[in-house]
Chain A
Amino acid sequence: MLSAEEKQEIEHELTKFPIRKSACLEALMIIQKHRDYVSDDGLKDVADYLGMSATELDGIATFYNLIYRKPVGKKVIRICDSVSCFIMGYEQIRSKIQEELGIKLGETTPDQEFTLLPTPCLGTCDKAPALMINDELHRNLNPNNVVQILRK
């Protein structure tokens, strides 16, 4: 069931579009904001509310890597694996993080603190390698400072 608050926010987005299902991405972002991720039930709720099939909505939800279809930790690390970062040492940074947290790409720590995800480009190639933790950008990484950043 969508909460009254979620419904109100979705309704607001609906005013911006001529077709109801055009607001589906915004609606998914809204329930992700309230529930941390989009569960199967959450997805069905949104699909029903917008008058589209769950299958169609899930096709859209799974296309975008910022819509989480599984539970994520409090802090989501998005590490750039694109060309510049790759050349500047992405692999060492990734190994260090994996060693420190004991998780692989796409996994969440057992204490639900961190989730590690790859991302194609953060637009900061001149200060590669880079990663983001939630909305915070960290650049010019090396195996030492990345551990400090994680422990902060």
Chain B
Amino acid sequence: MPTIFIDNKPYEVKEGQNVLHAAVSHGLNLPYFCWHPALGSVGSCRQCAVQCFKDENDTQGRMVMSCMTPATEGSRFSIEHPNAKSFRADVIEWMMINHPHDCPVCDEGGECHLQDMTVMTGHNKRRYRFKKRTFKNQNLGPNIHHEMNRCITCYRCVRFYRDVAGGEDLHAFSSADNAYFGRFEDGALESEFSGNLVEVCPTGVFTDKIFRASYTRKWDLQTAPSICQQCSLGCNMSPGERLGKIRRIQNRFNPDINGYFLCDKGRFGHQWVNNTPLPTKPISEITWPLNDDKSQVIGIASPKASLEANYALRKLVGAENFYDAQPKGDYLLAERVLEILEQYPETASVEDVRQADLVLVLGEDLTKTAPMLALAIRQNLYRHWQEKADKSKIPAWDDLAVRNAEHELPDVLYMVHNAPTKLDGLVSQRMSLDFEQISDWIPRIRAAKNPVIIAGTSLKSRPLIDLSKELRALAPQAKLCYVLPEVNSMGLALLKPKSLSDLKSPGVEAISLEPSLKSDVMAKVGDFALIDAFESELSKRAAIAFGCASFAESTGTVINNEGRAQRYYSVFERENKRPESWRILRDLGGFSWQNIDELCGDMGREFPVFEPFFAKAHHADFRVHGERISRQTLVASGRTAVNTHLSMHEPTPRVDQDSPLAYSMEGYHGDMPPDLASSYWRPGWNSVQALNALSHAPSGVKLLRRRSV
């Protein structure tokens, strides 16, 4: 690892980094705008200027843009040099000429990179006396709010939207002082990844429209580390709550899965949590309407529910009565996938897809079924360009040079599909779903170093799943990646439920965790009890319906498509707290589990496959320096005032029995264990960019092992 000197202090840096990346990784306060760790450098904003010296005797030096300068062994720089400092002060003054002073009414205020950089540079007095240029904003659809006057022309939005995500309907218009970022005409942004503009934009041009409708400052949001519930990839995210409502979702960096980005389904699909909760009563106050002998009742498991809930249900009704409600075909596919993965447990993560030299997609329209995999394929192709550019001595971070050096589509994406998909423009070879010519591809697959074979259950095709296995058998270096229907499909499959289609005694009573039962399933069962978070058609038909906590109000484990167990933590507690579904089942069965760790202890003994995760997961009694980890920020406002219309007494924060997190601003705020960090902050860095100096890398635990024969 090279050592560089910044203001005469030595710093060890990563091979191939630029000076800016190295400096901010070491927590140095060097301002910048156009650089982003996932977008690389273009050197356009001129904000990251530093003085560069020939050697230790050179006192004069010359000015360079740190983002465009490689951090080579022994090179010497100064952030504090007066020339560089005054140049940076000039740059921020130009940027602020047209920027409105609307921070108090701006959604970005308090988590704005521009605000941070302006303060960091010391620009606190405006000399410009003239009119600012103003723009007309566009309606960009239901998710993104547009406020062009705030733009500082860093071009990050189009570099993400077009270059990284492949979107075609956002562009830079006009030039110089009139440069405008938007669409050809008003209309909803078409990309599945448009929500990332909110985090990529260093100021308030693109903001979250759903958040705007019930706005709260960043420091007043209560957050907890969570897992996206929208597909089987299990992207890491951080929902924010205030006064009992989920307000927004932000990305939580996980290098193995989502990295710096989320898809729109994950980022914006959260308002259902704020629906009217299904009420519940303590077990002692209800009359149990079904058979008292629970072994006469069947359990209907759900791939949308946590591992803990499904296990508790299995425990209550017994393995013999534990059923999966999926149609028989889907059930068999899930069973088949698990069978294959027990033979070939080396599954591919989203990061493996980014790094692969061949990606084979068998019948999945990834942009719809697992959007972040589609983004990973786009990032993969760019990485190939970086590798080729490297041979011409172009550094990987030099974004414009990499893109100018290489235009040809790399020979990476092979697709078996009949219908058009959004990735079609990137496909180098294609075959129809009957894959009769698949043998033509076998030499290419065998020759690949780290190929990934992606298949899935969305087309409900057994031959495609079998094909993936056959190809894997031919190429031992290949990794498999299966796209499954739900967030915890893999977890449920590992609990080995039976198929409801095989149910022998129709009309039997049931307890269901699954809120969307198909009519053919409904025809098989008689009276049933439902455990769900919200009112639904099904809850009205149930003999008894128990309201349970949604994922945002409970702690649980889900297992993603690669067999990676990850825990999501309760973000908040409602005023009328509803128990977690496993607590309802515990009370029904009279089990003794006091918290999630006790339940997981039992589950780990019964299903050793989960044990490595439960051993590593932070137990509820985990403390940092004797403290719980705070869910609220140090400056959360209104704690003593927010309930004064009800009582002068400040309510005691509830004690979280299942996690080491606290529903309070009191607790530990320092360097977090990565799996427990839900927001990023450092002094002077209030935006998501604070992440760049923190080494958070939550990982979860990959559980699948080769089945011993």
- Could you say which of A9-17, A57-65, A108-116 contacts chain B? A57-65
A55 vs B171: C-alpha distance in the bound complex, in angstroms? 6
A59 near B172 with CB under 8 A, answer: yes
Cβ A55 vs Cβ B170 within 8 A = yes
Q: Are B184 and A58 in contact (CB under 8 A)?
A: yes
A54–B175 touching, CB < 8 Å: no
**Would you call A53 and B184 a contact (CB within 8 A)?**
yes
Contact B169 A55 (CB under 8 A): yes
A53–B168 alpha-carbon span in the complex (Å): 6
Q: Is the CB of A62 within 8 A of B174?
A: yes
Cβ–Cβ contact A55 & B168, under 8 A: yes
Nearest residue, chain B, Cβ from A47: B184
> Nearest chain B CB to A51's CB is how many angstroms away?
11
Query: Among A54, A55, A58, A63, which residue has the most Cβ atoms of chain B within 10 A?
Result: A55
**Bound CA–CA A43/B185 (angstroms):** 12
B 145-171 contacts with A by CB, 8 A: 168-171
Across the interface, name the chain B residue whose C-beta is closest to A55: B184
User: Chain A's nearest CB lies how many Å from the CB of B155?
Assistant: 12
**A54 contacts across to B, CB distance below 8 A:** 184-185
B175 surroundings in chain A (CB, below 8 A): 62-63
Is the beta-carbon distance between A53 and B173 smaller than 8 angstroms?
Answer: no
Tell me, yes or no, whether A26 is within 8 Å of chain B by CB. Answer: no
Interface of B is mostly: loop
What class of interface size applies to chain A in its complex with B? Answer: 10 to 19
Cβ contact within 8 Å between B168 and A58: no
A residues near B168, Cβ cutoff 8 Å: 52-53, 55-56
Contact with B along A45-82 (1 / 0, CB 8 A): 00000001111101100110000000000000000000
The answer to whether B183 touches A63, judged by C-beta atoms less than 8 angstroms apart, is: no
Once the chains are docked, how many angstroms separate the CA of A56 from the CA of B174? 12
Query: Is A53 in contact with B169, judged by CB distance below 8 angstroms?
Result: yes
A40 is an interface residue with CB less than 8 A from chain B: yes
Query: Which of chain A's residues have a CB closer than 8 A to the CB of B183?
Result: 55
Q: How many A-B residue pairs have CB under 8 A?
A: 30
Q: Which of B546-578 contact A (CB under 8 A)?
A: none
Shortest Cβ gap from B162 to chain A (Å): 8
Q: How far is the CA of A24 from the CA of B180 in the complex (A)?
A: 20
A residues 70-102 touching B (CB-CB < 8 Å): none
Q: What's the Cα separation between A123 and B183 when bound, in Å? A: 35
- Whether the Cβ atoms of A59 and B171 lie closer than 8 Å is yes
Task: Evaluate contact between B170 and A63: CB separation under 8 angstroms.
Answer: no
CB distance from A149 to the nearest CB of B (A): 29
**In the complex, how many angstroms separate the beta carbon of B569 from the nearest chain A beta carbon?**
40
Complex CA–CA separation, A54 to B187 (angstroms) = 13
- Do A56 and B171 touch across chains, with their CB atoms under 8 A apart? yes
Residues from chain B with a CB closer than 8 A to the CB of A63 are 173-175
Collect the chain A residues with CB atoms within 8 Å of residue B173's CB: 58-59, 62-63
Closest-CB distance, B131 to chain A (whole angstroms) = 15
Docked Cα-Cα span, A40 to B169, in Å, equals: 15
Question: Across the interface, which residues of A come within 8 angstroms of B180, CB to CB?
Answer: 62
**Complexed CA–CA distance, A27 and B168 (Å):** 20
* Assembly CA distance A58 to B174 (angstroms): 9
Closest beta carbon of chain A to B567's beta carbon, Å: 42
Minimum C-beta distance from B123 to chain A (A): 29
- A117, chain B: closest CB distance, angstroms: 13
Chain B residues positioned under 8 Å from A43 (CB to CB): 184
What's the nearest-Cβ distance from chain B to residue A62, in Å? 4
Mark B365-382 against chain A: 1 for CB-CB distance below 8 A, else 0.
Answer: 000000000000000000
**Distance from A46 Cβ to chain B, minimum over Cβ atoms (Å):** 12
- In the complex, which residues of chain A have a beta carbon less than 8 angstroms from the beta carbon of B169? 53, 55
List 9 extra interface pairs beyond A53-B184, A63-B173, CB under 8 A.
Answer: A40-B185, A52-B168, A54-B184, A54-B185, A56-B168, A56-B171, A58-B171, A62-B173, A62-B175
- A selection of 20 A-B contacts at a CB cut-off of 8 Å is A40-B184, A40-B185, A52-B168, A53-B168, A53-B169, A53-B184, A54-B184, A54-B185, A55-B168, A55-B183, A55-B184, A56-B168, A56-B171, A58-B171, A58-B184, A59-B172, A62-B174, A62-B180, A63-B173, A63-B175
- 9 A-B pairs with the lowest CB-CB distances in the bound complex, closest first: A59-B171, A53-B168, A55-B184, A62-B173, A54-B184, A62-B174, A55-B171, A55-B169, A58-B184
